[in-house]
């Protein structure tokens, strides 16, 4: 069996920066609040919570005059204003690439109708929509373009500015952009593909690896949209894709012919048979991990497979 590990697997620059800065802050102070999960990864959250981070889902849960982390996804303008009213000390760990999108939509909001391509409920999109103001609309699928057009018609703007969630599927964004240009043919349409390089390159590498392997293991949080996207990209090329959070999710039945390692009385361990395909030297497993997956989770899975 051969294991191919993606070079781009694991933390992206924005997430690494957020986790490192949070750790440094927690070395100096306990009881630092974090608005939302700092990354979509249970293990990373648990480690930081042990050091004194308190995760809350709403800024109203943060006591006045305390310290609060704004994570890499970014927050909307209204949350910055609320933080000011509550005299909070903000540790702003918004990724610079997300900040750049906030600045772009703020600059455009008075002259353009802004279409944000992404998932409505995703925290990054909630933040970006907040900066884009009223003349903006979020779409995720082709059938929402008409709804966006109806909103656009209510404005007297002749310009349409399109941005994207940083972790959106690159190919899907390209298709939606073409459709937007067709549907808004009388408007001046500016397409600004704000998908992050880290995301796009990881999707490209995932595609390449998934074409070469028999099984693809994608490691990442259950709620991480960039991880789910990697699984989708893999499924296009590989019929056997597993999405796991950590080594515990990699169930024995996937690797062995039995669902559990049996332990005999007297403590003698019976090593179950490896599935035939896994001892076949031509069998290949590909590994890729989302932007919020720590190196430790990737290494544990590689070690498990090696053993
Ligand atoms: S995926 Fe890109 S934009 Fe998002 S946090 Fe990572 S580096 Fe920043």
Ligand 1, atom nearest to 72 Cα: 5
For ligand 1, atom 8, the nearest C-alpha belongs to 14
Q: Please report which confidence band the pLDDT of residue 273 belongs to, taking 50, 70 and 90 as the band edges.
A: low
Q: Please report which confidence band the pLDDT of residue 264 belongs to, taking 50, 70 and 90 as the band edges.
A: very low
124 catalytic residue (yes or no): yes
User: Average pLDDT of the chain?
Assistant: 90
Q: What is the pLDDT of residues 33-55, one digit of tens each?
A: 999 999 888 888 999 999 999 99
pLDDT score, position 246? 85
193 pLDDT above the threshold of 50: yes
272 pLDDT above the threshold of 70: no
Contact 28, 231 (CB under 8 A): no
CB of 35 shorter than 6 A to ligand 1: no
CB of 196 shorter than 6 A to ligand 1: yes
Question: How large is the average pLDDT for residues 1-13?
Answer: 92
Cα(215)–Cα(36) distance, integer angstroms: 33
Q: What is the pLDDT of residues 110-147, one digit of tens each?
A: 999 999 999 999 999 999 999 999 999 999 999 999 99
pLDDT score, position 270? 52
Question: How large is the average pLDDT for residues 24-31?
Answer: 92
Taking the centre of ligand 1 as the mean of its atom positions, its distance from the CA of residue 209, in whole angstroms, is 22
Contact 203, 226 (CB under 8 A): no
Q: Please report which confidence band the pLDDT of residue 182 belongs to, taking 50, 70 and 90 as the band edges.
A: very high
42-46, 89-93, 287-291: least confidently modelled range:
42-46
For ligand 1, atom 5, the nearest C-alpha belongs to 14
Tell me the domains of the chain and their CATH numbers: 2-6+198-306 (3.40.1010.20), 13-94 (3.40.50.11270), 97-191 (3.40.1010.20)
DSSP 59: G
pLDDT score, position 258? 58
Taking the centre of ligand 1 as the mean of its atom positions, its distance from the CA of residue 117, in whole angstroms, is 16
Helix (H, G, I), strand (E, B) or coil at 146: helix
Cα(290)–Cα(114) distance, integer angstroms: 28
Q: What is the pLDDT of residues 51-64, one digit of tens each?
A: 999 999 999 999 99
Beta bridge partners of 4: 286
17 pLDDT above the threshold of 70: yes
pLDDT score, position 1? 82
Ligand 1, atom nearest to 15 Cα: 5
pLDDT score, position 114? 98
Ligand 1, atom nearest to 96 Cα: 8
**Non-local CB neighbours of 23 within 8 Å, separated by 6+ positions:** 48, 51
pLDDT score, position 199? 87
Beta bridge partners of 274: 256
Beta bridge partners of 164: 117
pLDDT score, position 292? 86
Contact 292, 13 (CB under 8 A): no
Question: How large is the average pLDDT for residues 211-239?
Answer: 90
Residue of 8, 10, 13, 194 best suited for mutating to test ligand 1, as the one with most atoms within 8 Å of CB: 13
14-28, 169-183, 216-230: least confidently modelled range:
216-230
pLDDT score, position 257? 60
Residue of 21, 92, 291, 294 best suited for mutating to test ligand 1, as the one with most atoms within 8 Å of CB: 291
pLDDT score, position 271? 55
Marked catalytic residue, from 124, 140, 205, 229: 124
Report the Cα 110 to chain-centroid distance in Å.
30
DSSP E strands, the chain: 2-5, 32-35, 53-56, 67-70, 89-92, 113-117, 136-139, 159-164, 188-191, 215-219, 241-244, 262-263, 269-270, 284-289
């Amino acid at each position: 069996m051969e294991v191919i590990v993606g070079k781009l697997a694991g933390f992206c620059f924005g997430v690494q920066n957020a986790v490192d800065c949070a750790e440094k802050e927690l070395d100096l102070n306990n009881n630092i609040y974090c608005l939302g999960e700092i990354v979509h990864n249970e293990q990373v959250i648990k480690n930081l919570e042990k050091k004194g981070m308190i995760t809350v889902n709403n800024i109203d849960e943060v006591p006045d005059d305390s310290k609060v982390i704004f994570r890499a996804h970014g927050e909307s303008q209204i949350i910055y204003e609320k933080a000011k009213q509550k005299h909070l000390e903000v540790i702003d760990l918004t990724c610079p690439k997300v900040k750049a999108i906030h600045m772009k939509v703020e600059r455009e909001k008075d002259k353009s109708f802004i279409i944000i391509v992404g998932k409505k409920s995703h925290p990054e999109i909630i933040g970006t929509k907040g900066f884009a103001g009223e003349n903006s609309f979020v779409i995720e699928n082709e059938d929402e373009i008409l709804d966006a057009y109806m909103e656009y018609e209510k404005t007297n703007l002749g310009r349409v500015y399109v941005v994207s969630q940083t972790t959106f599927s690159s190919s899907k964004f390209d298709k939606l952009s073409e459709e937007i240009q067709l549907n808004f043919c009388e408007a001046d349409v500016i397409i600004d593909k704000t998908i992050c390089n880290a995301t796009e390159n990881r999707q490209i590498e995932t595609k390449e690896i998934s074409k070469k392997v028999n099984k693809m293991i994608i490691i990442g949080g259950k709620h991480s949209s960039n991880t789910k996207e990697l699984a989708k990209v893999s499924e296009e090329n590989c019929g056997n894709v597993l999405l796991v959070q950590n080594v515990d999710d990699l169930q024995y039945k996937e690797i062995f012919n039995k669902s559990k390692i049996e332990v005999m009385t007297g403590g003698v361990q019976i090593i179950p048979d490896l599935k035939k395909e896994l001892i076949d030297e031509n069998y290949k497993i590909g590994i890729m991990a989302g932007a919020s997956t720590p190196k430790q989770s990737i290494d544990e899975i590689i070690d498990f497979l090696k053993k």
